[in-house]
């Protein structure tokens, strides 16, 4: 069932890329088959001539070169914009080869049927493309017909256009419906993906987010920033007493307040991860060590002023710089700083570099 859900402007590029990735196999093979099947009409050329149509061999089979080109470059096509240009090019190549062939045919009446078939090729290729791109690419089919008529002079030119118009409108409507239907699929996938990496209680990330921020071939953080990454590890002080005294619902509420305080202090580009229980890890992206310490101190100060409705809470925080190593080593170092803070008075921020040897 098609809903009225709309893709937010900020998500539009990701939506079109997702749609392309999902349907690209359909569009790729449609593009290949369109030009490949065009060569089979050489048989009809021979039927029209009544003998081997040597004049149309080159026009019909000239499409082999573009096919080979697409087969070679296809695996390198990542962007839907590049894919749209290349895949939509192939129905036009098939049309140009057909028009080239028609020049040599003694009977050109069958051009009308051939051009009608091309609408379905554009429909199939358009499955992976934004509807706005399709309007342009498919609309150029009319330009192919009109321009080629200047020297071919089709006997059924008017009929070609009047038959083509409703087919064009029908294809556009079908692809519009397809795009709207895929919106539901896309939004559902985003919700599933978001829920799989999100802690349901606090709204922070869970540890599964690491699959997105770690390199695939080795356990180091992806690092596209010119500045450094600073890692914080936070732990609520004496949280067990809260649960034992006021119950787990009160404890859950305090965890939510803590996460909310952290998120209001750090940037949207930073990663807040519920590491386990009352422990959180924060990756500060693009911070110097001193900036990281100042942010940690601000979090600590804000937490101590939070109105919990029961009793004041405090948090101990460990801070360390990420040096590009295995992230497990960074977690070990920041964990060491955190427990030094807890063992030496709690409610404080400790840098890993401040710990005595």
Asked if residue 28 belongs to a domain, the reply is yes
Predicted pLDDT of residue 208: 87
Asked if residue 4 belongs to a domain, the reply is no
In the set 249, 268, 278, 298, the catalytic residue is: 278
Asked if residue 53 belongs to a domain, the reply is yes
Residue 155 in tokens: 């006997």
Domain membership of residue 220 as a residue range: 207-354
Specify whether the CB–CB gap between 238 and 347 falls below 8 A. Answer: no
Angle between helices 248-265 and 239-246 (to 10 degrees): 140
DSSP sequence for 12-58: HHHHHHHHHHHHHHHHHHHHHHHHHHHGGGHHHHHHHHTS--GGGHH
Asked if residue 2 belongs to a domain, the reply is no
Please indicate, yes or no, whether residues 153 and 92 belong to a single structural domain of this protein.
yes
Please indicate, yes or no, whether residues 297 and 178 belong to a single structural domain of this protein.
no
Residues β-bridged to residue 280: 234, 274
Please indicate, yes or no, whether residues 153 and 246 belong to a single structural domain of this protein.
no
In which residue are the tokens 């379905």 written?
120
Q: What is the pLDDT along the chain (357 residues), one digit of tens a residue?
A: 334 456 777 788 999 999 999 999 999 999 999 999 999 999 999 999 999 999 999 999 999 999 999 999 999 999 999 999 999 999 999 999 999 999 999 988 888 888 888 999 999 999 999 999 999 999 999 999 999 999 999 888 998 899 899 999 999 999 999 999 999 889 888 888 788 888 889 989 998 888 877 877 777 877 665 458 999 999 999 898 888 888 989 999 999 999 999 999 999 889 999 998 899 999 999 899 999 999 999 999 999 999 988 888 999 999 999 988 888 999 999 999 999 999 999 999 999 988 887
Please, what's the largest Cα pairwise distance for the chain?
99
Predicted pLDDT of residue 355: 86
Helix (H) or strand (E) run with residue 2 in it: none
Specify whether the CB–CB gap between 193 and 252 falls below 8 A. Answer: no
| Distance in angstroms (rounded) separating the CA atoms of residues 196 and 209 | 9
CATH code for the domain in which residue 321 is found = 3.30.70.270
| Distance in angstroms (rounded) separating the CA atoms of residues 71 and 32 | 9
Cα dihedral sign, 72-76-78-80: negative
Three-state DSSP class for residue 274: strand
Predicted pLDDT of residue 226: 45
Residues β-bridged to residue 235: 279, 316
278 noted as active-site residue: yes
Residue ending a domain, among 195, 215, 245, is: 195
Please indicate, yes or no, whether residues 148 and 16 belong to a single structural domain of this protein.
yes
DSSP state of 200: T
Predicted pLDDT of residue 227: 58
Predicted pLDDT of residue 9: 74
Number of domains in the chain: 2
Predicted pLDDT of residue 3: 43
Residue ending a domain, among 165, 195, 225, is: 195
pTM passes above 0.75: no
User: Phi, psi (5° rounding) for residue 282?
Assistant: -125, 125
């Amino acid at each position: 069932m098609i809903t009225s859900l709309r893709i937010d402007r900020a998500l539009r590029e990701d939506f079109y890329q997702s749609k392309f990735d999902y349907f690209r196999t359909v569009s790729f093979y449609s593009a290949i088959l369109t030009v490949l099947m065009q060569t089979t009409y050489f048989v009809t050329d021979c039927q029209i001539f009544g003998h081997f149509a040597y004049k149309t061999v080159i026009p019909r089979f000239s499409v082999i070169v573009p096919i080979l080109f697409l087969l070679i470059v296809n695996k390198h096509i990542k962007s839907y914009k590049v894919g749209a240009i290349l895949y939509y090019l192939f129905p036009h190549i098939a049309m140009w080869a057909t028009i080239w062939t028609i020049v040599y045919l003694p009977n050109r009446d069958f051009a009308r049927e051939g051009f009608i078939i091309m609408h379905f090729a554009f429909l199939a290729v358009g499955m992976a493309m934004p509807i706005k791109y399709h309007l342009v690419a498919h609309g150029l089919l009319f330009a192919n017909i009109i321009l080629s008529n200047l020297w071919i002079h089709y006997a059924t030119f008017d009929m070609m256009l009047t038959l083509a118009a409703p087919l064009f409108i029908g294809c556009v409507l079908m692809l519009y419906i397809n795009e709207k239907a895929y919106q539901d699929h896309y939004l559902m996938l985003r919700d599933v993906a978001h829920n799989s990496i999100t802690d349901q209680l606090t709204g922070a990330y869970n540890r599964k987010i690491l699959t997105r921020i770690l390199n695939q071939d080795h356990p180091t953080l992806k690092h596209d920033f010119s500045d450094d990454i600073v890692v914080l590890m936070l732990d609520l002080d004496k949280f067990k007493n809260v649960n034992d005294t006021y119950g787990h619902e009160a404890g859950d509420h305090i965890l939510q307040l803590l996460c909310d305080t952290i998120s209001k202090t750090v940037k949207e580009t930073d990663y807040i991860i519920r590491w386990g229980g009352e422990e959180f890890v924060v990756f500060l992206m693009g911070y110097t060590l001193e900036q990281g310490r100042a942010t940690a101190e601000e979090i600590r100060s804000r937490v101590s002023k939070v109105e919990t409705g029961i009793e004041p809470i405090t948090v101990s925080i460990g801070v360390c710089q990420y040096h590009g190593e295995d992230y497990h080593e960074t977690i070990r170092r920041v964990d060491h700083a955190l427990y030094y803070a807890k063992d030496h008075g709690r409610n404080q921020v400790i840098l890993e570099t401040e710990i005595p040897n």
